[in-house]
Structure 1
C-alpha cells in the first residue's frame, strides 16, 4: 500500500513540477515578455558599449600624453595647441610654405594647390585645366 502511495505522490509532484515549468516558459515566450527581454538586453549592451568608449577615451588621452612627453610637445605651455604641432613636409620644416588666409587651406599632399578644376604646379608658374586632359 505504501508503494502505491509513494508512486502516486511522486507522479503528482512530477506533474505539478512539469506544469509549473511549462507555464513559466510559456509566460517567457509571450510577445510582451520577449519585448521586455530584448529591451533589457539592448540597454545592457548600450551600457557595455558606453563603458568601452569611456575606457578607450581614457587610454587615448593617456597615450596622447605619453607621446606628447616623448616628442617634447608639452614643454612649451605658453603656446596654443595649433602652433605646437611640428610642421612636416617634403624637405623638413624649412620647406613648409606659409599660405595667407585668402589662399585657402593647404593641400595635405603638399605638392600643389588646387582651385576648382585648375592646378598650379609649384615653381613652374604654369597651370592647366584637368578637364582638358580627358
Structure 2
C-alpha cells in the first residue's frame, strides 16, 4: 500500500513540476516577453559599446600623451621661435606682377588629354 502511495505521489509531483516548467517556458515565449528580452539585450549591448568607446578614448589619449612626450611636443618652444610671424607675402615676391584693380588676367586652357588630338 505504501508503494502505491509513494509512486502516486511521485507521479503527481513530477506532473506538477513538468506543468510548471512548461508554463514558465510558454510565458517566456510570448511576444511581450520576447520584446522585453530583446530590449534588455539591446540596452546591455549599448552599455557595452559605450564602455568600449570610453576605453578606446582613454587609451588613445594615453598613447597620444606618450607619443607627444617621446617626440618632445609637450615641451615649451625654444626662445628663438617665440618671435612674431612674418607678414603676408607680396605678389611680386612670388614671381607675379603686383595686382591692382585695373589688371585683367587671361587664362588659356591646355588639356593634357592625348585623346583630344585625334
Which interval holds the TM-score relative to the shorter structure?
0.5 to 0.7
Higher-strand-fraction structure: 1
Distance 1:41 1:52 in 2: 16
Aligned positions of 1:3-18 closer than 5 A: 3-18=3-18
> Alpha-carbon deviations, 1:20-44, whole Å to 9, x = none?
0000000000000000000000000
Size of the aligned set, in residue pairs, is 86
Which is bigger in relative contact order (C-alpha 8 A, separation at least 6)? 1
Displaced runs of 4+ in structure 1, greater than 6 A?
Answer: none
Q: CA deviation at 1:76?
A: 2.0
TM norm structure 1: 0.59
Question: Are 1:76 and 2:80 an aligned pair?
Answer: no
Q: Which has the larger radius of gyration?
A: 2
Answering whether residue 47 of structure 2 is matched by residue 64 of structure 1, we say no
Partner deviation per Cα, 1:40-94 (whole Å, 9 max, x = no partner): 00000000000000000000000000000000000027xxxxxxxxxxxxxxxxx
Residues 53/128 of structure 1: CA separation in 2 closer, same or farther (3 Å cut): farther
Structure 1 residue runs without a partner (length 5+) = 78-99, 101-126
Distance 1:129 1:30 in 2: 70
Aligned to 2:92: none
Residue 5 of structure 1 aligns to a residue in which SS? helix
